[in-house]
Amino acid sequence: MYKTDSDSVEIYYTNRSIKGLKNLTKCNIFALNVLFKAGFKCPEEYLLTRDLFDKNRYNDIFPVIDINSPDEIITGDLIIWNGHVIIFESLVDVNGKVYAKAVWGGSNQENNGKFAKNNVTYGKFKLDGEYIVRRPIKQN
């Protein structure tokens, strides 16, 4: 469903499918679909990662959390770069470098049934570059 070679994908949070996505990653759709299914607020429209990366938008459902250290990120937070989004689980230190243990969709990793399945990856993602953290809000 989240493969880059898929042309269309179901967007649960808008209750429709969208076409024209061939050769595009779908991490944004995966993250919001997961949040929606888990009972969190989601937008009524289709969002790109650049929309989520814009700190001035969607703060009513995904507030931006100003952090001073990666230690302040909590399980379930979205970590967003301009072009990628992951759902955070925990921090991992690998040889002095900080990684987020996380899940994300649209991976090019081969399905191995353990860390990559149905084009969804569970693994480590390096916390570098410019990123923001958003903390989803539960639906009432």
Burial class (CB in 10 A: 0-12, 13-18, 19+), 138: exposed
Break the chain into its structural domains and give their ranges: 9-134
| Residue pLDDT, tens place only, 84-115 | 999 999 999 999 999 999 998 876 666 666 66
pTM of the model: 0.90
Helix and strand tally (H, E) in the chain? 2, 8
**Identity of the amino acid at 92:** V
